[in-house]
A and B are shown apart, each in its own frame.
Chain A
Amino acid sequence: MPKSPQLRLDPNSPVPAVRQIADNLRILLVEGQLKAGDELPSVRRVAMELGVHFNTVAEAYRQLVAEGWLDQKHGRGAIVIDRAAPPEAESGKFAEFRQRLRSLVAQMRSEGVPADRIANELREVIGGLAK
């Protein structure tokens, strides 16, 4: 039986909660763990379970609605929608992505994370994209 997707939040992380929630949801959406038609819990329920303010979750949901991932109806949870394929990103956007990725890898290596562990992690990400 496939594992149900979990939304995680680290309250001790320096990354703001709203970004953690939006980023983690985006990962689940991109990797296909959340599919079109899936209904996400209400803002209130997510906020209570994660121990964050209602506005934090509402803002994360709003971001994903704006990106075309979710449809949100008042008083209900958000529904994952079939997102139309976005137009191919311009080359500048890809250069920025490459720069950020290289910078992130360099930062992890400087903090002592072994290169093979980073490579494994990247392979896992690539595996998720291939699904």
Chain B
Amino acid sequence: MIMNSLLNCLPVCIVGSTLLLTPNLSRRGLFFGVPVSPDFAASHNAHQTIGAFRRNVAVAFLIALLIAWQVPVSSLLGGLIPVLLLMAAAGVSFYQAHRLVLPFRAPAPSDRSIDLLAAPGTAPRTLWLAAGPFLLLACIALFLHSHWSAIPDKFPVHFAADGTPDGWSVKSIKGVYGPLLFAAEICSFLVVCACASWFGARRSTTRSGAISIFVAVEYVLAIIFALVPLQTLFAIPYWVTVVVAIAPAPLLIAYIIKKVSEPSGPPEQTPAECWKGGMFYYNPADPVVMVEKRTGLGYTLNFANPWSWALMLFLVLVVATGPLALP
């Protein structure tokens, strides 16, 4: 029972710790989604804003932990509710902090420019690495096909915190290959996002870092979903999946902190009035599909671009087909 509750609290702890670090995950010159002067981060106002944000998130973190402790681990929705509540509370706190910082906004340079003789951008090497997870999933599928006779008629696909199976599937095309198919769908979505942030965005020094994150997440998800059907043939301890899912999180956060603290060019020039709450970009006059995020490292959608909605539809389709593909 205690192990179940601890396992339930794990995602809340990861999300909560990441949210507490939000002020450290912004690029230099940006503070809660607002472009500010370089010395603003050391000011009294900045410290007060960060303090208020962290207090609010810490309270929400504690409440979410209490809820997670009480909810049975087998309930997927029950497990998600504390995380969603925590994220909603952090979103509201971020918006409040954003409003507090707005009066200190640095004047944006009025002109934009392009280097006319710069070499045309070619896809970075990391984008080619995005093919790896598909290759891995295909290899696992071939391996399972060649060992089809060795797969038991009924096999576990979900485990309780103490390692005892609590979800089962049967030997069928969907039961065995479904997780691989679903992983391929998610990986396709991530590849499309990586391509959109390269070909559908302005050039910036953070672009290749953002693509590396998409590709890294793709590998982690492919490995997690590949482990599910491999359980049918090998007694893989359940903690292996937990470690594969959780271990990359601190590495990813450390990578983002390192990248955002590196000296780089000024943040992308986008009209302040087009940022809703400092988080959502909506600019019908801007032809880009993706713009640099104002918090963290990476790209976010320009919600005024029809291709952004096509990407959102793709995501909805991936999520909606999950129950069909998974055992």
Name A residues whose Cβ lies closer than 8 Å to a Cβ of B: 4-13, 28, 34, 38, 40-41, 44-54, 77
Contacts and interface: CB of A to CB of B under 8 A. Distances in A.
A56 to B, nearest CB: 9
A48 B112 contact: no
Contacts of A52: 285, 287
A58 to B, nearest CB: 12
Given A49-B202, A52-B285, A54-B287, A4 B117 contact: yes
Given A47-B287, A54-B287, A9 B112 contact: yes
A11 B270 CA distance: 11
A8 B269 CA distance: 13
Contacts of A47: 287
Contacts, number: 71
B114 A50 contact: yes
Given A49-B203, A51-B288, A9 B116 contact: no
Contacts of A49: 112-114, 202-203
Given A49-B202, A52-B285, A28 B116 contact: yes
B163 to A, nearest CB: 51
B112 A51 contact: yes
B306 to A, nearest CB: 13
27 contacts: A4-B117, A5-B115, A6-B113, A6-B114, A8-B111, A8-B113, A9-B111, A9-B112, A9-B113, A10-B110, A10-B111, A11-B111, A11-B112, A28-B116, A38-B116, A40-B116, A41-B118, A41-B120, A44-B287, A48-B201, A49-B112, A49-B202, A51-B202, A51-B283, A52-B285, A52-B287, A53-B285
B286 interface: yes
B118 A4 contact: yes
A12 B109 CA distance: 10
B299 to A, nearest CB: 13
Contacts of A44: 287
Contacts of A38: 116-117
Contacts of B113: 6-9, 49-50
A22 to B, nearest CB: 14
Contacts of A54: 287
B253 to A, nearest CB: 30
A41 B117 CA distance: 7
Smallest CB-CB A-B distances: 6 pairs:
A49-B114, A10-B111, A8-B113, A6-B113, A51-B286, A5-B116
Given A41-B120, A49-B203, A8 B112 contact: yes
B171 to A, nearest CB: 50
Contacts of A41: 114, 116, 118, 120
Contact of B110 (A12, A34, A46, A53): A12
Interface string B70-108: 000000000000000000000000000000000000000
A41 B302 CA distance: 23
B223 to A, nearest CB: 35
A50 B112 contact: yes
Contacts of B110: 10-13
A48 B271 CA distance: 14
Contacts of B112: 8-9, 11, 49-51
Contacts of A40: 116
A104 B166 CA distance: 81
B179 to A, nearest CB: 38
Given A49-B203, A51-B287, A5 B111 contact: no
Interface centre among B113, B116, B285 (most CB of A within 10 A): B116
B287 A4 contact: no
A52 B90 CA distance: 34
Nearest to B268: A51
B286 to A, nearest CB: 5
A116 to B, nearest CB: 25
Given A9-B111, A49-B202, A34 B116 contact: yes
A14 B232 CA distance: 68
Contacts of A10: 110-111
A50 B270 CA distance: 10
Nearest to A54: B287
A45 B114 CA distance: 9
Nearest to B284: A53
A41 to B, nearest CB: 7
